[in-house]
Amino acid sequence: MQLTQAIRQMGRNDVKLVRRDSFLIGMFAYSIAIAVTLRFALPWFANFFAEQDILAFPLQEWYPMFIAYGVIFMGAVLAGMIFGFMLLDEKDDQTIKALLVMPMPLNYYMAYRVGVPAVVAFVMIVVEMLIVNLALPPLLPLLLIAAGAALTTPITALFFMTFAPNKVQGFALNKVIGVLGLIIIAAWFFEPPLQLIAGVFPPFWISKAYWMVFEGQSLWWGALTIGVVLQIVLIAVLLRLMKRVLYRL
């Protein structure tokens, strides 16, 4: 079976899964809702805090922190949750078994499960950043940062498939991922080199690159490169673990 045929076949199956599950559709809407909320809530709170003299500095200085977590990280994670739950649906429905016995190389399936979620996440993150339209980086850094952040999506999806036996456990793992994301927020309040401890969490480096762009630092691409490399390594590890899971089904 050719790769294009495999993509069309798996794409049709994904569309069916999304159409029959309102939760997955709701996750797309929720992701956009976060961006819209940030777009209007951040300026409102900035004005309110300034009028009430609540903060000793303008809230605008914290915009990159909120956007890094709410859009760059959570945008990718929410997309990963959608595809992760689709994988769990395939597992529950035994659809994966059917795919494995068809004349389609397993590598095609793996490439699809990494590539398509990353592309979807890239588009979602760019759209959400444009919706928020606050602390927006120039176009080239925006596209590169969105591409780096999009790698978090297949990581999330593969994490669900590998470690969650069913959708109930998937919801539990979702909480774990959300808590790990707080590392990004915590890192905002520390300066290097202490801040770099958060680098053990690969998605942090993508947010760090965004912060460096916002601060006008020319070496932002270095942080982005580290984040991309670490996430690719993590994807490779999760793919190997996923293969073991597939052959045990």
Per-residue pLDDT reduced to its tens digit, 129-171 = 999 999 999 999 999 999 999 999 999 999 998 998 877 788 8
Per-residue pLDDT of 227-239, as tens digits, reads 999 999 999 999 9
Q: Which domain holds residue 112?
A: 3-248
Name residue, tokens 């979620």.
117
Q: Which residue has the higher pLDDT, 22 or 121?
A: 121
One-letter identity of residue 179 = V
Give the confidence band of 5 by pLDDT, cuts at 50, 70, 90. confident
What does the pLDDT read at residue 83? 93
Mean pLDDT score, 51-56 = 90
Number of independent structural domains in the chain:
1
CA distance 87 to 172: 16
Is residue 102 scored above 70 in pLDDT? Answer: no
What does the pLDDT read at residue 249? 62
In eight-state DSSP terms, residue 207 is H
What does the pLDDT read at residue 170? 83
Per-residue pLDDT of 192-228, as tens digits, reads 899 999 999 999 999 999 999 999 999 999 999 999 9
Is residue 105 scored above 90 in pLDDT? Answer: no
**What ranges in the chain are assigned the alpha helix state H?**
3-20, 22-52, 63-67, 74-92, 95-101, 106-132, 139-150, 152-163, 167-188, 203-214, 220-248
Is residue 124 scored above 60 in pLDDT? Answer: yes
What does the pLDDT read at residue 164? 86
Cβ–Cβ contacts within 10 Å for residue 173, how many? 17
What's the mean pLDDT when you consider all of the chain? Answer: 91
Q: What is the dihedral of CA 159, 163, 168, 170, to 10 degrees?
A: -10
Per-residue pLDDT of 6-40, as tens digits, reads 778 788 888 887 888 888 889 999 999 999 999 99
What does the pLDDT read at residue 1? 56
Length of the chain (residues) = 249
Residue from 122, 118, 136, 110 nearest 243 by CA: 110
Q: What separation, in Å, do the N-terminal and C-terminal C-alpha atoms of the chain show?
A: 23
Contact (CB, 8 A) for 79 and 124: yes
Is residue 2 scored above 70 in pLDDT? Answer: no
What does the pLDDT read at residue 99? 67
Contact (CB, 8 A) for 160 and 117: no
Per-residue pLDDT of 70-81, as tens digits, reads 999 999 999 999
Q: Quick one: how far is CA 27 from the chain centroid? A: 13
What does the pLDDT read at residue 100? 66
